[in-house]
Structure 1
Amino acid sequence: MSTPVSAADRTLLVRLNRRSRAGIEELCEDLGVTATAVRQRLSRLSDAGMIDRQPVKIGRGRPKHLYGLTADGKRALGSNYQELADAMWSALSEVEDERTRSFLFGRLQDTLVSRYGGDSVGKGALRERLAGLRDALQVHGFTVEVDDSGPLPVLREHHCPYLDISEDDPQICELEQKVFERVLGTGVVLTRCCRDGDSCCEFTPDGSGLTQLGSVEAEVSR
C-alpha cells in the first residue's frame, strides 16, 4: 500500500529511525511539540502500519511504551518516487525511434491497467467498475472519489498525481485517460484537469464501448 506522508509525519519517522525506539517524552523533546500532538501522529502512523510499539517494564508501575518503525515505515522514509518517475518519463519521451517509444509507452499502459484493474478489467456494471477503480487508486495513495449525483458518474481526482510531469508534457494526461478507459471498458472524457488550472481532474465515462486491448506487442509487430 502506498500512503502519503506529511512533512511533520516524515520528521517523526526520521527521529524514530535515528533512535531505533523512543517514548513519547523523547519524541516531544526531539520535535518540540506537545504530547498530544505526538500521540496524534503516532496514532495516524500506527493506523497506516508504519510504526509499532513495545511495552518496556521500568521498575514498578505501568510499563512504558517505546515506538519504532515497521518495514513499511522504513520504506516510506526512503521513498522519493516522484523524482524517479520524472526521470523515467523524461527518458521515455526522449527515445527517438517512434516504434520503440510507442512500444515502451504501451507497456507502461499495460502495467497500469493491470495494477488498477487486475482481473476485473471491463467486468460488471459501469458503476461497479468505477467503484473498483476508485478503490484501487485509493490503495495506491490517490485522493479520489466517484460522484454519482449527476446524470453520468464522475471519477474525481482531488490532486494530480503527475503534476510536475503534466506541466511539461500533456501526454501523461492522455496515458491516464487511456488506462482508465481500458479498466472501465468504455470511453472516458477528461472534463476537468489540474493542468488547465482546475482544482481537480475529472473523468466522465461516455458510455461508448471499447475493445479491450491486450499487450501492445501485437500492435508494434504489425
Structure 2
Amino acid sequence: MNATLPAVDHTSADTSSAPDPDAGTRQRVLQIIAAAGPVSAAQLAAQLDLAPAGIRRHLGVLEATDQIAVHDAANGPKGRGRPARRYVVTSRGQSALSHRYSELATQALRFLAETAGAQAVEDFAERRVRELEERHSGAVAAVGGDVAARVRVLADGLAADGYAASARPAPGGTAMQLCQGHCPVQDVAHEFPQLCEAEARAFSRLLGVHVQRLSTLAGGGHVCTTNIPISKAPHAPAHPVLSVEGHQA
C-alpha cells in the first residue's frame, strides 16, 4: 500500500455540540482509515501530527465502539517479526461517517404518510420501539417493582445501545429523570415527533408507571428528559397513564 495518505478536510467534522473534545480528532482518524485503510497507527500519527500514545488512545476508543477493526492479513505476504497492526472501518464506522441516512429516513416516512396516511407512521413508530422493549424488558423486570431501580437498569441498557443515557433523582425526591444525550433519529423525529411519543410510551410500559417527557433533542432541547415518578400520589390510578409533552425544549 502506498504510505502517502490523502489530505483530510479538517473542517468537515462538526464538533460544536460534542461534549467530548477529542471527538473531532477521532472523526478525522475514522475518515483517514475509511479513505486509505488498511492503515497503521504510525501512518495515522504522521498524518495527524500526533504522538504515538495519542493515536493509540483514539484507535482504542474507535475499536472499543466497533467503528474500526484490525485488518486480517493472514493471507498477506509473510515477513520476519511481528507485522504492524493495520486498521479498517467496520459497517458501524461507515454508518458514523454517513450524513444521509436521516434524510433518506425522513423521505421514506413522508412517502409513508402521503400514501398510507398518518396512522401508518404511528404504526411504524410503535413497531420500532417494540424491539427496544423486548431488548430491555428482561433486565428491567429482573429488579422487581422498585421503580427507581428499574429506571437505573433501563438507563444502563440505553447507554449500552448508544443513547448516552443516565438516571438521576429529580428535585424533591419523588421522581427520577431518565436523560438521553444522544438520539439516533433526532433529525427525523424533528419532523415526525411520533417517534419520540412512541418511545415515551415504551418507557411507560417498561417501567409500569406514568411518564412525562420534559424535553427532547428533536424539539431543540440539549437532552431528552423523561420524568418518572417513584412514589405514587395518594389517589394515583391503578394503571399507568401516559402523558407525553413531546417537543417541548
TM-score (norm 1): 0.70
* Alignment partner, residue 94 of structure 1: 114
Q: Are 2:42 and 1:25 equivalent residues in the alignment?
A: yes
* Alignment partner, residue 59 of structure 2: 42
Greater RCO, 1 or 2 (C-alpha within 8 Å, sep 6+): 1
C-alpha deviation, 1:97, in angstroms: 4.1
| Matches of 1:190 and 1:158, distance apart in 2 | 14
C-alpha deviation, 1:165, in angstroms: 2.2
* Alignment partner, residue 67 of structure 1: 86
Match of 1:113 among 130, 133, 139: 133
| Matches of 1:140 and 1:31, distance apart in 2 | 30
| Larger strand share, 1 or 2 | 1
Is the 2:162–2:182 contact (alpha carbons within 8 Å) kept by the matching residues of 1?
no
C-alpha deviation, 1:203, in angstroms: 0.6
Structure 1 residues 33 and 121, CA gap change in structure 2 (3 angstroms): closer
Is the 1:42–1:51 contact (alpha carbons within 8 Å) kept by the matching residues of 2?
no
Give per-residue Cα distances to partners, 1:52-109, cap 9 Å, x unaligned.
38999976xx84532323xxx4112321453454344334433434655544343223
* Alignment partner, residue 223 of structure 2: 200
Number of matched residues?
A: 203
2:109 counterpart letter in structure 1: W
Unpaired runs of 5+ residues, structure 2, are 1-21, 242-249
| Matches of 1:82 and 1:98, distance apart in 2 | 19
C-alpha deviation, 1:160, in angstroms: 4.2
Secondary structure at the aligned position of 1:129 is classed as: helix
Structure 1 residues 97 and 82, CA gap change in structure 2 (3 angstroms): closer
Match of 2:69 among 33, 41, 51: 51
Is the 2:40–2:87 contact (alpha carbons within 8 Å) kept by the matching residues of 1?
no
Match of 2:32 among 12, 15, 38: 15
C-alpha deviation, 1:209, in angstroms: 5.0
Structure 1 residues 57 and 44, CA gap change in structure 2 (3 angstroms): farther
| Matches of 1:7 and 1:197, distance apart in 2 | 22
The 5 A counterparts of 1:149-164 are 150=171, 151=173, 152-164=175-187
C-alpha deviation, 1:142, in angstroms: 0.7
| Matches of 2:157 and 2:191, distance apart in 1 | 27
* Alignment partner, residue 158 of structure 2: 137
| Larger helix share, 1 or 2 | 1
Match of 1:104 among 118, 124, 134: 124
| Matches of 1:209 and 1:190, distance apart in 2 | 21
* Alignment partner, residue 208 of structure 2: 185
Structure 1 residues 90 and 8, CA gap change in structure 2 (3 angstroms): farther
1:203 counterpart letter in structure 2: T
1:191 counterpart letter in structure 2: L
| Matches of 2:120 and 2:223, distance apart in 1 | 33
Secondary structure at the aligned position of 1:199 is classed as: coil
